[in-house]
Amino acid sequence: MNKMFPVLKREYMTRVKTKGFIIGTIALPLFMVFIIAVPVFLALFKSEKPCQLVVLDLSQQVYPLLISALDDTTTSGARLYQLSLWEVTPGNLSIAKIELAKKVDKKEIDGYILIPTDVFQKNYAEFYAKNVSNFEQNRTIERAISSVITRIRLERTGLDPIQISQMVRTVNLKTFKVRAGKEEEDTGFTFGITYVLAMILYIALLLYGVMVMRSVIEEKNSRVVELVVSSVKPSHLMAGKILGVGAVGLTQIFIWVSILAFLSFYAGSLVTSIFSVPAAEIKLPSIPVSVLIYFVVFFVLGYFFFSTWYAGLGAMVNSEQEAQSLQMPLIMFLVIPVLMMVYVIGNPDSTLSIVLSLIPVFSPIVMFMRISVQMPPFYEILASIVLLILSIAAMIWLVGKIYRVGILMYGKRPNLPELIKWIKYG
């Protein structure tokens, strides 16, 4: 067993000292901080430049009410939408549009709104601007015009539009996540963080599994393995490789989880101090420690399960090209949970989600997603972990036999009968 540790140390040290490991370890947290900080920054410092709009009101009824409907203001109290009326008739509409288009091109105005004569019957208006990709602005203008049209229609029927608008006001639904008897407002954070962490699991399991396979193939092709197995048992060599690369992955995961936990607990304070925003206005949800612990647990178990397969796969082939087709089933076992991600997050306690979370090839990702969204009964988590550990033990026994023979075999890739012979011989 002592001879396994030099292999483990070599696999670990040769990887953690590489630029790729250092860059990858730093890049992901920076990316996470970036995607969290940028929306907050943009929300706090969004542009408040007044929008100069010209209105072509062929209905001759909408413009006066539209001024009061588009009453958004900047922090300084100035009107955000500054409207002006352009007198026009259906006969000279085309000329007016040409002139206004020139003004838009010269940036004299930001755009213009065309209210058709039959707007009350056809239910549409037109907005022309150099940039029509500001969907928030588009929705604001659309809602304002819609409210004005509705008000005019109600006035025509003799109803009080103010009373009607109060009676038909929409209700905003606030969502609160209940966890461990506590309530926390959740506007999509759980979905987002579950999606991100599940994708990290998928990428990490695939990346480090392939890393083990490549290590085996490289040593096999260079014939270094022939020298190594003369002093180290093949089983110890395989274990050293898996544990060494696994330690690299665990180091990286530990760093990521530590940073994620820090951001989860202190992001609100950081935003408050950096942007001078009152703490009461900052409502950033936190990630439960239990979720981060289970993330590490299922990474470790998932890694041992898949890397054992990849080690055996590396011993069976002579090059990465040969391994391409053979590793497709393993990749599919990782891809299927990703394809099921939206369903599992939306239905964590459905029969399909429960069954998938108990199948070892899917459980590292699926069970973690269930835990992150809605903590399942402990016996289900325990059953998933036990089944995964038993499967790992079975894989080590089976793949160990393939590895013992395969690392010293060159030439043609084994077919199924030959593989069975390897297992019997091993």
Is 332 inside any structural domain?
yes
Q: Mean pLDDT score of the chain, rounded to an integer?
A: 78
**pLDDT 10s digits, 305-341:** 988 888 888 777 777 777 777 788 888 999 999 999 8
Give the domain-ending residue among 167, 198, 230.
Answer: 167
Residue 85, classed as helix, strand or coil, is: strand
Q: Are residues 53 and 29 part of one domain?
A: no
Element (H, E) at 406: helix 378-406
DSSP conformation class of 183: E
Across 17-21, 61-65, 196-200, least confident range: 17-21
Q: Are residues 275 and 159 part of one domain?
A: no
pLDDT at residue 281 in the model = 47
pLDDT at residue 358 in the model = 94
pLDDT at residue 42 in the model = 63
Binned at pLDDT 50, 70 and 90, residue 279 comes out as very low
Q: Are residues 233 and 292 part of one domain?
A: yes
pLDDT at residue 357 in the model = 92
The total of other beta-carbon atoms located within 10 Å of residue 252's CB is 20
Q: Are residues 155 and 294 part of one domain?
A: no
Is 182 inside any structural domain?
no
Domain total in the chain = 2
Burial per residue of 313-340, b for 16 or more beta-carbon CB atoms within 10 angstroms, e otherwise:
bbbbbbeeeebeeebeebeebbebbeeb
Across 136-140, 263-267, 365-369, least confident range: 263-267
Q: Residue 289: is its pLDDT beyond 50?
A: yes
Give the domain-ending residue among 134, 167, 200.
Answer: 167
Q: Tokens 């054992």, residue?
A: 308
pLDDT at residue 407 in the model = 66
Q: Are residues 55 and 28 part of one domain?
A: no
Q: Tokens 């229609």, residue?
A: 153
**Distance between CA atoms of residues 201 and 71, nearest Å:** 47
Q: Residue 280: is its pLDDT beyond 50?
A: no
Q: Are residues 60 and 12 part of one domain?
A: no
Task: Tally the residues of the chain.
Answer: 426
Binned at pLDDT 50, 70 and 90, residue 384 comes out as very high
Q: Residue 365: is its pLDDT beyond 90?
A: yes
Give the domain-ending residue among 99, 132, 167.
Answer: 167
pLDDT at residue 368 in the model = 92
Report the CATH number at residue 117. 3.40.190
Is 229 inside any structural domain?
yes
Work out the average pLDDT over 72-101.
83
Is 176 inside any structural domain?
no
Percent of the chain at pLDDT exceeding 90: 12
218 forms beta bridges with none
pLDDT at residue 367 in the model = 93
**Distance between CA atoms of residues 311 and 55, nearest Å:** 69
Work out the average pLDDT over 166-192.
62
Q: Are residues 195 and 93 part of one domain?
A: no
Is 116 inside any structural domain?
yes
Residue 291, classed as helix, strand or coil, is: helix
**Distance between CA atoms of residues 376 and 359, nearest Å:** 16
Work out the average pLDDT over 369-392.
91
pLDDT: is 360 or 161 the higher one? Answer: 360
Owning domain of residue 154: 49-167
Q: Are residues 158 and 17 part of one domain?
A: no
Q: Are residues 371 and 312 part of one domain?
A: yes
pLDDT: is 313 or 48 the higher one? Answer: 313
pLDDT at residue 419 in the model = 67
Is 177 inside any structural domain?
no
Is 30 inside any structural domain?
yes
Is 39 inside any structural domain?
no
Q: Are residues 237 and 91 part of one domain?
A: no
Contact 316, 220 (CB under 8 A): no
Q: Residue 423: is its pLDDT beyond 80?
A: no
Work out the average pLDDT over 409-420.
67
Q: Are residues 116 and 257 part of one domain?
A: no
Q: Are residues 383 and 271 part of one domain?
A: yes
